[in-house]
């Protein structure tokens, strides 16, 4: 899954360096150079993680962290030139998930990004309640799909595909996005493989596969899972 990282620092060279290493790991990167721009992008683009410098123009990093924590649980890694324990604890108390002291190793930062995102993904999966769409229930924790009380047997790839669509119902995913999330970034097969899995899923979960109620084609884009009434 391509994750979006917001990098916030008033030093462009620092931003460019972090961005270079994140792009190598195939993350998508947003950039901000002051606290006000960081808040705007965080709320508009909803990144999966924020790398946030402590000392920023307009609104400093601690205030950005404090403001975001009023309405967001986005993971935050704080970059700081401050080295005392009390100052580091202050950042963690305000809601930062981790911190790294400048100067830092870009490779270590990327490793911490992976750890925080992995921890966040596991927590989200554990907290995600079953999704119910009419007679269809998708249980993310149990990796189980039921039609009324009947368990529908899906292959691992079919479940991963359905899960990807179900975690963001109503959103249209391109075939390329679905290939990346279901088969991995290194998959070299055809994007049309997704069509085959969707067809098989429709046969298993749709009352009338030729007129799909849940798994809808978005022409010119890809597919989406339709919510009841949407």
Average pLDDT over residues 172-189: 77
- Total-model pTM: 0.57
pLDDT at 67 over 90: yes
DSSP letter, residue 119: H
Q: Contact at 8 Å (CB) between 97 and 123? A: no
CA gap 54, 60 in Å, rounded: 6
pLDDT at 37 over 90: yes
Place of tokens 């601690």: 62
What pLDDT was estimated at residue 79? 92
**How confident is residue 6, by pLDDT bands cut at 50, 70 and 90?**
very high
Average pLDDT over residues 145-157: 89
Strand partners, 174: 222
Q: Which of 3-17, 79-93, 97-111 has the lowest mean pLDDT?
A: 79-93
Instruction: Tell me which architecture the domain covering 4-126 has in CATH.
Output: 3-Layer(aba) Sandwich (3.40)
Nearest residue to 31 (alpha-carbon basis) of 2, 18, 43: 18
Helix, strand or coil, per DSSP, at residue 32? strand
Query: Tens of pLDDT along 188-216?
Result: 556 778 888 899 999 999 999 999 999 99
Q: In the chain, where are the structural domains located?
A: 4-126, 131-225
Nearest residue to 229 (alpha-carbon basis) of 133, 162, 164, 138: 133
pLDDT at 185 over 60: no
| Alpha helices in the chain, H assignment, sequence order | 12-24, 35-45, 61-68, 85-93, 106-127, 156-166, 175-183, 193-205
- Fold for the domain defined by 131-225: Arc Repressor Mutant, subunit A (1.10.10)
What pLDDT was estimated at residue 229? 43
Chain center to CA of 183? 16
Q: What does the mean pLDDT of the chain come to?
A: 86
């Amino acid at each position: 899954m391509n994750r979006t990282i917001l990098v916030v620092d008033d030093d462009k060279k620092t931003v460019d360096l972090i961005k270079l290493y994140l792009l190598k790991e195939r993350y998508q990167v947003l950039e901000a150079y002051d606290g006000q721009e960081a808040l705007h992008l965080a709320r508009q683009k909803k990144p999966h993680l924020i790398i946030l410098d402590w000392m920023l123009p307009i609104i400093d990093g601690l205030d950005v962290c404090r403001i975001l924590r009023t309405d967001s649980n986005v993971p935050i890694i704080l970059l700081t030139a401050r080295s005392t324990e009390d100052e580091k604890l202050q950042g963690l108390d305000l809601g930062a998930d981790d911190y790294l002291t400048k100067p830092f190793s870009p490779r270590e930062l990327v490793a911490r990004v992976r750890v925080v995102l992995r921890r966040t993904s596991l927590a989200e999966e554990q907290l995600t309640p079953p999704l119910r769409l009419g007679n269809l229930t998708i249980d993310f924790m149990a990796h189980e799909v039921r039609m009324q009380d009947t368990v529908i047997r899906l292959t691992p790839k079919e479940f991963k595909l359905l899960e990807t669509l179900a975690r963001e119902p109503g959103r249209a995913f391109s075939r390329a996005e679905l290939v990346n999330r279901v088969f991995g970034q290194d998959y070299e097969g055809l994007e049309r493989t997704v069509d085959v899995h969707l067809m098989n899923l429709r046969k298993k979960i749709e009352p009338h596969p030729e007129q799909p109620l849940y798994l809808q084609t978005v022409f010119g884009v890809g597919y989406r899972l339709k919510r009841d009434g949407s």
